[in-house]
Amino acid sequence: MLHAMLFNGTQTIDLGIVDTSGGIGCTLGSSASALNDKGQVAGACTVGDGEHYVAFLWQSGVLKTLGTLGGAASGAAAINRKGHVVGDSERSDSFTHAYVYRNGRMRDLGVLEGDLNSTATGINDAGLIVGNSFGAGGSHAFIHQDGVNTRLPMISGAQSSSASDINNLGWVVGQAYGPKTNHGWVYDGNAVYDLNLLLTNADPRYTVKAARRIADNGHIAADVVDGQSGRTVGATLVPVK
């Protein structure tokens, strides 16, 4: 049985599977997916017969399951400093929608017009949320603000896109998908940029395939492909002032 763990700098803490807040009981295991600087952890644990999982929030030794949007399962992807959690959840109509959990309530964030499913992947301390909406045209990155989902622009040549993170400046990173290649991108609130076109002094055999995380100082964690070996490696992209 696998349990979510937290290392606080001095010791490893087993987050367990028991909901001590009176919510849905976890049964077989748990996994952690996000941590904020207050030590709050978001993740998911299996429930019932182990066929489904549900999102949880752990803080100060208490694991609380967050429920669902009416379906059987939910998952957590990110948490901000205020303890607001985002992820996705099944609904009673079997579709999956992005959600935000705050003030003790899980709220459906909906989808982009014409799409059926969505997921939320990041939230900053101001409450701006990024995620992806899915329909016949594939995946499209969006930003959620003041109850409205807005489609993010795509880099040249992309047919679809996905967002993976947002920082406290409102900058978003993700991956664009095209007929020939996938490229990582960054959105600064005004325009979207192909990260490969921003690189300086980089070996030309490397291609930034995806941007995974962005810090408030602009550092970006990315997947980079070696064009000679075909290997994908992790890299940190550092802004040049």
C-alpha distances out from residue 219 to 149, 153, 189, 198, Å: 26, 21, 16, 13
110 with 204, same domain? no
Q: How, if at all, do strands 52-59 and 41-47 pair?
A: antiparallel
Identify whether 137 is part of a domain: no
Considering the domain boundaries, does residue 2 fall inside one?
yes
In a domain, 95, yes or no: yes
Q: Is the dihedral of CA 195, 133, 233, 159 positive or negative?
A: negative
pLDDT (0 to 100) of residue 227: 86
The Cα–Cα gap between 42 and 32 comes to 6
Is residue 133, in this structure, part of any structural domain at all? no
Q: Cα 130 to the chain's mean position, in Å?
A: 8
Q: Are 75 and 165 in a shared domain? A: no
Question: Residue 236 carries which side chain, given as an amino acid letter?
Answer: T
Amino acid 36: pLDDT: 97
* CB-side neighbour CA atoms (13 Å) of 240: 6
Same domain, 85 and 11: yes
Alpha-carbon distance 49 to 65, whole Å?
A: 16
Query: Are 108 and 159 in the same domain?
Result: no
Domain that holds residue 31: 1-118
90 and 174, same domain (yes or no): no
Number of domains in the chain: 2
Asked if residue 97 and residue 30 are part of one domain, the reply reads yes
- pLDDT means per 10 residues, the chain with 241 residues, are 82 74 67 95 84 91 92 96 98 97 97 97 98 95 97 95 98 93 94 94 88 97 93 93 70
Q: For residue 214, is it within any domain? A: yes
Number of CB atoms found within 10 A of residue 137's CB: 12
Q: Is residue 134 part of a domain?
A: no
